Structure 1
Amino acid sequence: MFWKFDLQTTSHIDQLLDRDDVTLRELMEEDDVLQECKAQNRRLLLFLSQDHCMQELVTLITTEPPADLEEKSRFKFPNIACELLTSDVSIINDKLGGEESLLEMLYHFLEQDPPLNPLLASFFSKTIGNLIARKTEQVITFLKKKEGFIGLVLKHIDASAMMDLLLRLISCVEPAPLRQEVLLWLNEERLVQRLTELIHTGKDEERQSNASQTLCDIIRLSRDQANQMQENMEADPLLAVLESQESVAGLLKNMFEGERSEASIVNGTQVLLTLLETRRSGLEGLMDLYSQGYERSYTVNSSILNAIEPHLKDFQQLLLDPPKKSAILTTVGVLEQPLGNARLHVARLVAALLQTSAPSICQELCNLATMDLLLDLFFKYTWNNFLHFQVELCVASILNHPSSEEQHSPSFQNHERNAAAANSEGPGEGEESGGPSDPQASIHNSLVAHLFQKCRLVQRILDAWEENDKIQSEGGTRRGNMGHLTRIANMVVQNLEKGSVQAQISELIKELPEDCRGRWESFVDETLRETNRRNTVELVSTHNMHSSSEDDDMESPFPNDLSLQQTFSDYQIQQMTANFVDQFGFNDEEFSEHEENINATFDRIAEINFNLDADDNSANAAAFEACCKERIQQFDDADEEEDIWEEKEINYATQAKSRTRFGVSQSSEGSSRSSLENGGRDRDQGSESEEEEESEQNPSETGRWSPGWTADFRDSGGSPSSPAGWEGSAEGGAKMEESGWASFTEFQAFSG
């Protein structure tokens, strides 16, 4: 047994600790020092928790190592020191969190001038973060006494480790009352406002990026925790500030104030997109969002939309005149004027705004003709699939109208009042019907009409398709936006068949010029239908696939018809199974019966007939004969029963005999292959008795037997070896019954 060997070894660390003059560096040189620490090696922990050792560990993670050291070993000890301090051992946590002098040493790291060493910053953030989770009250009390703590963290926000530290303060503080206290403290320190101020043209890109990412993470974390909170819990003050109109307006002011830069626009738009998130879903589920309605897990705050609406014209101007970018070389040639990340983020923002279906937002986008401009970019930048996807989302959100229940959600009701106020100087459409959802429905219908009339969606689809066909006919490359254009065309067709705006789209199609309407109908009935057919995934290729070149010479047993190659029909599977049963005499019922007696499986092996064509190579026949004559060793437990592996006489016949076992006719390998090549058509699906009778009366007419060698493994004595008995005759059946060979009632159940 394994346990009789004493594999326990004594760690070299224990031998070092026996010395009075052992140093911390010597212990840290040992490969298993961290393992021993986590294994609660008491002697090691007592040594590490000494004052001088703890001070040395903190110094290692907060002090730049000498520059003259070899690079691969320069941060070896700081890394080990960080792992020891964050090993989540209570004695180390108590010592580090309870000694204010050690916390002061850690805090002093933030007081250095930027930039911080990114690796040391990560060590510091990890250590403080572990203390926030394990020694929460002590660390929070210490940090709150430091008036400049938030300022120092934001001073070094260009290091991503500082962003992680802020998120630790927001997400890792327990219990809930203490967490609320920390959030109030951070709000008093104006954390959100100070992060927003960093997203400005005058700041470096790294600081802007980390500040933007921090705000996005705060929004998501706060919303996730708000969903888990009890109803009587206080609201998150940081999230309330972020969603306020004043805060969003301040962010937008920073984005567009002074000289515009792509970094400030992109990072600011990322925060806006996070604020507009209605539910967390992957990209693969976005299109389902429009086809299945607007099921929201979070309602967009109206204050966010109210702050964005006045700046829609600024985003529109970005689409017309983006920040200058130099030409770039792409795989399809030189792009003189790249789309740019700024315009891509504007497209993402428009798609998110249209998803809210806010009447005032939709009306302003319609007035600005933003969709017309986005479609221009869609057909201009034919290889930018990021843009194509966003334009597709915009079209989908316009065509798929929210249900009547969604129209009365708080988000819609908040904006209905704004829409009514905006339209109060007009003809007063809202007063005519008197319904509270009429302004929203009316504006949405205007947006649908704008898409088909002003944006000329149908004409653009037809023109782009014909132009692409012309390019391909001349030997050119298919355009990169054709896949998304196909989905948009299918979207229009689907909404013509059903949907809340079905009648309106049908009327808009009828209003098209006669020649355009005819082109559209022909396109839908022929071109689009054929494209959808080609885009359907085929499970099996029309070409035979081989695992290696050696298989190329093999003749396929299946017909070359395409319909047969695409998939195996149930009939073919039944025929292949039947041929296997014909050759080896097995079927499902027999396997289930053999579960009752394990020896039955071995008994059946002796009955397999191997049929070889007489025309086979004589060398193959000789090899087969030698294998059959070779003696096989017996099982140890076969003494009490008949030796099923005893060497038996091998009989060779010049012609294979048809035999029937349990009502199943058996055939040779050649006949099985012939049957499979013919698709199983030569196999009659009639009763088994008729098949046996045919085999006995006229075996030559069946075309299933051919002269060949038959290796018979059946015992010549005491077993039904008579050919008549295997052909299903009455005499053979009687012999089988007398010998008890086919009777399963005498089998004894196997038990362990």
Structure 2
Amino acid sequence: MFWRMTGLTSASPVDTILEKENFTLEELLDEDEIIQECKALNGRLINFLQARRQVEQLLRYIVEEASEVSENKQTFKFPFIACEIFTCEVEGILNTLTEDEELMKLLFAFLKPDHPHGALLAGYFGKVVLCLMTRRTAQFMSYVKGHPEIFHQLVDLIGITSMMEVLIRLIGADETAYSNYTDVLQWVDATRVLDLLVDKFNSSDSPEVHANTAEVLCAITRYAPPGFAAKICSPSFVGRLFQNALDNSRPKSVLVHSLSVCISLLDPKRLLQSSYQSFRSQLSHGSVVIANPETVNGMLQCLGELLKLLDVTASEVVEFMSVLFTLGSEDAEKELICLGALRRVLDMFFEYPYNNFLHHQVENIVSSCLESKKILLIEHLLHECDIVGKLLGAERQPTVSADWDKPTISAQGRSPPRIGNIGHLTSIANKLVQAANTSRLIQTHLQENTEWVDWHAGVLVKRNAMENIHNWACGRPTSLHDRARDSDDEDFRDRDYDVAALASNLSQAFRYNIYGNDDIEDAHGSLERDDEDVYFDDESAEVVISSLRLGMIRIDERAVNDRSTGSLLRHHQIRMMPTRL
């Protein structure tokens, strides 16, 4: 795209259309440069588009499905261009829309139950609404306040992701939008949005509806106004969540997403990011989560029924338990111990040796118990749960059991594979050793177990040394243990290179023409050359290594014709070609 300059370029195709005596909106929408001209605030174009008749037609392209006999332009292109025109945020066009009650009514007619709700137009509708919410906040919220049925309609369509995003922004559960209209949202607290949302777990069987409902509720736990926050943390609301989750007649997705809301209530930032690195950081225990005690107690009332589902849907329940242990709530810890929850999840850790998500959560629970330094938890972990005995038992039998009564068995006719949780076993064992340094109770328990002492000295210490990645060479320089440098150049310069090995490799490469070139035809005869001709000494290797430190190398074209490749290298006929690696 080039800038147009007066007198040097032809007129814009949009201006050409506007100069006609009779032209239509469709002609403009069909012109590829119309969006560019809108952003450039083309006066004649803006004057035409901001007229009520044109704004109404643009809205109809967004909220009304094209007929089956319509052309592709009317089905796809025109709705897209119409949406882009609104989101260009042109003052005149937005004023025409927000200041006209009938046009706003036409826009929100898309939410009516008898209206078709295709995903494509729903996306365009959502973009226009979010634009109005940001640029015309007062007028937009005034209209919504006068039409509270909009909340009901959005909740009914929450299975559509675009509608979910609009609802999140509308109720102020978004950190970027909430600050824009804090005062306007005070009346939203009085609506029944929370009740409508939690009822979706009971009234719909769609996994998409359950997932999006949970997303809205989790967003409320993070950014919602105080009124919403107080309601969602109340024991009555938590009780309704668990009532739906524990209903056996409901789909499994209800349990999964209801528990995700409960987890977010206990730790609002836990589900904020979805990347793997963020998930790994959640397993650290650098900070203690502080949850509302009333919220925790409301969940504990249903904990017994929830733990009965461990054999049905383990991962979600174990994650919920993991969060409870990180809270440091004595009531929660006593209830979990009384119900045998910790002992059961440890058993599952060994019963399902390939469920990596389960292993992460169980290791997280064990870490929380050890780091809490609470005698009750530690004694339960060491004695009732017998964590040391279970670790040693798994080490004695590091392959999958052939017992058909267990959930994980090896395939018939094949040797049993190695269990997949050895890494987590090692990590838990190291945590026990580390905790023993500050806990007399743990230290005594480990020292009195002779099998542990022998295994620690004969297996764990050696395994830790072998699995220390800082000592791995892997064909690369061995000085990888010092990673505190900020300069890549210093790190490169200080590495200990095996010059003899590099010299041998480079010699073989040139001898067998690995770095051959179509233009070097004479090099094909190098296989029959005498060994002396291809000798590549340590001095030559040092030259090549020094060159690599500065940049890529290229053999001088004048030296290509030299029949003696070994002579070329020996006399260092190398030309430097600096570059940034």
Shorter chain as normaliser: what TM range? 0.7 to 0.9
2:469 aligned residue: 537
1:410 aligned residue: none
Q: Does 1:250 align with 2:221?
A: no
CA contact (8 A) 1:382 1:480 kept: yes
Select the residue among 315, 318, 321 that pairs with 1:344: 315
Aligned CA distance change for structure 1 residues 202 and 132 (closer, same or farther; 3 Å): closer
Q: Within 5 Å, give how 1:17-416 maps onto structure 2.
A: 17-69=18-70, 74-113=75-114, 116-169=117-170, 170=172, 171=174, 178-182=181-185, 184-200=186-202, 203-222=205-224, 236-257=226-247, 259-277=249-267, 279=269, 284=277, 293-295=286-288, 299-320=290-311, 322=312, 342-401=313-372
> For 1:623-658, what per-residue CA distance to the aligned partner results, in whole angstroms no more than 9, with x for missing partners?
9xxxxxxxxxxxxxxxxxxxxxxxxxxxxxxxxxxx
Aligned counterparts of 1:92 and 1:389: Cα–Cα separation in 2:
53
CA contact (8 A) 2:470 2:480 kept: no
Aligned CA distance change for structure 1 residues 180 and 247 (closer, same or farther; 3 Å): farther
349-358 vs 238-247, greater mean Cα deviation = 238-247
Aligned counterparts of 1:9 and 1:209: Cα–Cα separation in 2:
53
Aligned CA distance change for structure 1 residues 79 and 709 (closer, same or farther; 3 Å): closer
> For 1:681-732, what per-residue CA distance to the aligned partner results, in whole angstroms no more than 9, with x for missing partners?
xxxxxxxxxxxxxxxxxxxxxxxxxxx9999xxxxxxxxxxxxxxxxxxxxx
Deviation (angstroms), 1:676: 9.9
Q: Within 5 Å, give how 1:491-510 maps onto structure 2.
A: 491-498=431-438, 502-510=439-447
Specify the code of the residue in structure 1 equivalent to 2:323. Answer: A
Aligned counterparts of 2:203 and 2:463: Cα–Cα separation in 1:
47
Specify the code of the residue in structure 2 equivalent to 1:265. Answer: L
Specify the code of the residue in structure 2 equivalent to 1:294. Answer: S
Deviation (angstroms), 1:253: 1.7
CA contact (8 A) 1:495 1:505 kept: yes
Aligned counterparts of 1:532 and 1:671: Cα–Cα separation in 2:
37
Aligned CA distance change for structure 1 residues 179 and 173 (closer, same or farther; 3 Å): farther
Aligned counterparts of 2:139 and 2:306: Cα–Cα separation in 1:
47
CA contact (8 A) 2:62 2:121 kept: yes
Select the residue among 410, 421, 429 that pairs with 1:489: 429
Aligned counterparts of 1:363 and 1:72: Cα–Cα separation in 2:
65
Aligned CA distance change for structure 1 residues 5 and 259 (closer, same or farther; 3 Å): closer
Aligned counterparts of 1:671 and 1:363: Cα–Cα separation in 2:
69
1:672 aligned residue: 539
Deviation (angstroms), 1:292: 5.9
Aligned counterparts of 2:453 and 2:156: Cα–Cα separation in 1:
63
Specify the code of the residue in structure 2 equivalent to 1:369. Answer: G
Aligned counterparts of 2:240 and 2:497: Cα–Cα separation in 1:
69
CA contact (8 A) 2:288 2:328 kept: no
Deviation (angstroms), 1:261: 3.0
Aligned pairs, number? 489
> For 1:459-495, what per-residue CA distance to the aligned partner results, in whole angstroms no more than 9, with x for missing partners?
11111122116999x9653322111121111111111
TM-score under structure 2 length normalisation: 0.75
Bigger CA radius of gyration: 1
Q: Within 5 Å, give how 1:419-458 maps onto structure 2.
A: 444-458=374-388
Aligned counterparts of 1:489 and 1:124: Cα–Cα separation in 2:
55
Aligned CA distance change for structure 1 residues 486 and 67 (closer, same or farther; 3 Å): farther
Deviation (angstroms), 1:175: 8.6
Say which SS state the counterpart of residue 318 (structure 1) adopts: coil
Deviation (angstroms), 1:134: 0.9
Q: CA RMSD in A?
A: 3.7
Deviation (angstroms), 1:284: 4.3
Deviation (angstroms), 1:174: 7.1
> For 1:273-308, what per-residue CA distance to the aligned partner results, in whole angstroms no more than 9, with x for missing partners?
111116557764777777764355xx2111110100
CA contact (8 A) 2:151 2:193 kept: yes
> For 1:395-435, what per-residue CA distance to the aligned partner results, in whole angstroms no more than 9, with x for missing partners?
11111117xxxxxxxxxxxxxxxxxxxxxxxxxxxxxxxxx
Aligned counterparts of 2:572 and 2:83: Cα–Cα separation in 1:
77
Deviation (angstroms), 1:196: 1.2
Deviation (angstroms), 1:85: 1.3
Sequence identity of aligned pairs in percent? 28
Aligned counterparts of 1:57 and 1:373: Cα–Cα separation in 2:
61
Aligned CA distance change for structure 1 residues 126 and 3 (closer, same or farther; 3 Å): closer
Aligned CA distance change for structure 1 residues 456 and 91 (closer, same or farther; 3 Å): same
Aligned CA distance change for structure 1 residues 202 and 90 (closer, same or farther; 3 Å): closer
Say which SS state the counterpart of residue 453 (structure 1) adopts: helix
> For 1:168-196, what per-residue CA distance to the aligned partner results, in whole angstroms no more than 9, with x for missing partners?
221489795942432x3222111112111
Aligned counterparts of 2:4 and 2:100: Cα–Cα separation in 1:
45
2:553 aligned residue: none
Aligned CA distance change for structure 1 residues 109 and 709 (closer, same or farther; 3 Å): closer
TM-score under structure 1 length normalisation: 0.59
Aligned CA distance change for structure 1 residues 274 and 10 (closer, same or farther; 3 Å): same
Deviation (angstroms), 1:220: 1.8
Structure 2 unmatched ranges of 5 or more:
402-409, 482-490, 501-521, 523-535, 545-569, 574-581
Deviation (angstroms), 1:65: 1.0
Select the residue among 409, 434, 459 that pairs with 1:527: 459
Deviation (angstroms), 1:458: 0.8
Aligned counterparts of 2:89 and 2:309: Cα–Cα separation in 1:
51
Structure 1 unmatched ranges of 5 or more:
223-234, 323-341, 403-443, 512-516, 545-561, 577-622, 624-668, 678-707, 712-752
Say which SS state the counterpart of residue 146 (structure 1) adopts: coil
